[in-house]
Amino acid sequence: MSKIENVIIIGSGPAGLTSAVYTARANLQPLMIEGEEQGGQLMTTTEVENFPGFEHGITGPDLIDVMRKQAARFGTRFITKNVTQVDFSARPFKVWVGKELHLAQTIIIATGARAKYLGLESEKKYMNRGVSACATCDGAFFRNVEIGVVGGGDTAME
C-alpha cells in the first residue's frame, strides 16, 4: 500500500507554490505534482511588475524559479509529471500519475487557467511584444496606446 501523504498539491503556478511554502513550513511535507509544464502561465510571461517584493519587476520564469527553490528549501517534494486520474469520493484521496497511485488526506488543486488565443500566426510572433493574454496584468504596459481586446463576457471586459 502507498504511503498516505498529508498534502498533495496539484499544480505548480504561484498559487500551488505558495501552498507548498505554507504547508511545508507547517511540517506537513507536501508532495507537489507540478505537471509536465511546470510553473503555469507565468512561464510565458516576460515581465511581471505587479508581484510584491520585486521593485523593478522580474520575468515569469525567474519568479517561478525563486518560488520553487523556496518551497524545496522547506521540504516540498516534486513530481514533474501530469496527474492522469483522481478519486475524491473517500479518504484517503487517490491521485494517479500514470499507473503510480498516490494517497493523501488533503488535496490542494491549484491548476490555474489557460489563455485562449485566436490561433493567428501573428499571435505567436508578437506574444509578449504587444500581444498579451491578460489585459488586467499587462494593461499598464499599454498606457496611452490604442489597443484592441478580444474575448467574451467579463474576462475581456475586466
Q: How far is CA 86 from CA 94, 104, 142, 158, in A?
A: 6, 11, 42, 33
Q: How far is CA 142 from CA 110, 118, 134, 145, in A?
A: 30, 20, 12, 5
Positive or negative: CA dihedral 2, 72, 134, 52? positive
Query: Looking at the annotation, which residues are catalytic?
Result: 134, 137-138
First to last CA, the chain: 48
User: Would you state the cell numbers that stand for residue 95, as one nine-digit string?
Assistant: 491521485
User: Would you state the cell numbers that stand for residue 104, as one nine-digit string?
Assistant: 493523501
Nearest to 101 by CA among 78, 77, 80, 83: 83
